[in-house]
Chain A
């Protein structure tokens, strides 16, 4: 990844003049390091690289303005909760027909049949025609209904605990558990269809 090289840019700007300099420094130390995680979530939620940038920009401003209220959650979970809200706002403002997967059904009521998630002429095999395995995984993830995609990303990529995911997603822990179950089941199903003789377990 080309972006890798620029990962650790200048993290803390010298903007800590003024009476809230300490808070600013604290923000830079606690929140700014989670920029990649914020972008990752925004990107998976929106499935749109430009929108993801706007969402993250918006989220950081909101986070900075409400930093005084930060407590309890881990810094990462707190920021991700804000990213999620900013995504919801963006979604409302750009209410447009989803390009690929069907809209999430209500409160995570996802279709249980993995094949029904494949639209746009995609077949499991065509998904695997991506250049690398990582790209295929990304494509499969993007096919999961949003509530399921969200918990899977928060769990497997951000390694949040169930409680943290519950706080970020604003749902009870039980819902997190059931969504995670379904997300893994669907993903495993899609993956085994896509790679029948490769990775799939017998």
Chain B
């Protein structure tokens, strides 16, 4: 990363934070860290000044390209054609399962790519720590991703570390007002690592931690209350390189999240459901 730039570069460890600082993406604690560092480091202060210059120069209004009027007209015309065609012959939308399978299939190449570069994912996760929760309208999924990443980074994977379900399950007793089922999936290649409490969507939830080779799976569990807008069909999402699976079973909402690919996480979910006490 050594660059023969004329000016002294910023401290290597701070460059990412300086960018995050400029972009308003840091939390308050990191903002203070950066400001304290800037006060005593001319190299970083200079780098920040150059970044600010880049922003000012690049974000001038005339730098932005604007759609030519002819393009606007042709887009509007194409949309109108599309609409009249759709009225004449409604497109048969694929039914639920087929659409889901199609979507999963479309995700696969991207997910494979993730697994090839696990080191990148680690770097990404490390950097995620300093990125603020999105300004306004933080969604449940973002909170779940944040919870997962937090558990990996803050060395706070488990409050109760045990591979024994009969140790983990009672541990939750008295700490939360529901009892999450804890199942042993070691035989299926998903050994239990433990459990902990986490805080998602404004309430304390149970988090079960399983492992798959080098990967960690967090399963967040809470009672499916009024927010149970999710039907029984599982949903898979990919977010920031993580896969999320959501399902509802016996009055509890489950969110499994991991950097495993969708197929493996789905396997986990199936094994988990199968092992539940009937």
Chain A 158-202 interface residues, beta-carbon cutoff 8 Å to B: 161-163, 166, 170, 172-175, 177-178, 180-181, 184-185, 187-189, 191-192, 199-201
Q: Are B63 and A137 in contact (CB under 8 A)?
A: yes
Choose the segment among B83-91, B202-210, B215-223 that binds chain A (4+ C-beta atoms closer than 8 Å): B83-91
Interface stretch, picked from A15-23, A92-100, A119-127, is A15-23
Residue of A112, A141, A173 near B131 (CB, 8 A) is A173
- Distance (whole angstroms) from the CB of A79 to the closest CB of chain B: 12
Measured in the bound complex, the distance between the Cα atoms of B57 and A188 in whole Å is 10
A141 touches B241 (CB 8 A): no
Task: Please give me the residue from chain B that is nearest to A157 by CB atom.
Answer: B64
Cα separation A177 to B23 with both chains bound (whole Å): 10
- B-side residues, CB < 8 A to A, are 1, 3-7, 9, 15-16, 19-20, 23, 25, 46, 49-51, 53-55, 57-60, 62-76, 78-80, 82-84, 86-87, 90-91, 93, 110, 117, 120-121, 123-128, 131, 134-135, 139, 141-142, 240-241
Minimum CB–CB distance from B235 to chain A (whole Å) comes to 11
A180 to B18, CA, bound (A): 11
CA distance A35 to B49 in the complex (A): 33
Give A residues with C-beta under 8 Å from B.
1, 3-4, 6-7, 9-10, 13, 15-20, 24, 27, 32, 35-36, 38-40, 43-44, 52-53, 56-57, 60-61, 64-65, 68, 72, 107, 112-113, 132-134, 137-138, 141, 152, 155-157, 161-163, 166, 170, 172-175, 177-178, 180-181, 184-185, 187-189, 191-192, 199-201
With both chains docked as a complex, state the minimum distance between the C-beta of B61 and any C-beta of chain A, in angstroms.
Answer: 8
State A21–B1 Cα separation when bound (angstroms): 54
Q: A15-B84, A185-B3 are in contact. Are A174 and B126 (CB under 8 A)?
A: yes
A177 to B88, CA, bound (A): 47
Q: Is B60 within 8 A of A133, CB to CB?
A: yes
Q: Once the chains bind, are B67 and A38 in contact (CB under 8 Å)?
A: yes
Contacts of A32 in B (CB 8 A): 75-76
Does the CB pair A157–B63 fall under 8 Å?
yes
**With A38-B67, A177-B127, A188-B54 as contacts: A170 and B1 at CB distance below 8 Å:** no
Whole-angstrom CA separation of A93 from B67 in the bound complex: 23
Q: Is A161 in contact with B25, judged by CB distance below 8 angstroms?
A: yes
Report the Cα distance A201→B65, complex, angstroms: 27
Q: A134 — which chain B residues lie within 8 A by C-beta?
A: 60, 62-63
Tell whether, in the assembled complex, residue A184 and residue B135 are in contact, meaning their CB atoms are under 8 Å apart: no
B135:A161 contact, CB within 8 angstroms: yes
How many Å lie between the Cα of A80 and that of B139 in the bound state? 20
Chain B residues contacting A157 (CB-CB under 8 Å) are 58-59, 63-64
Q: For B78, list chain A residues within 8 Å (CB).
A: 57, 60-61
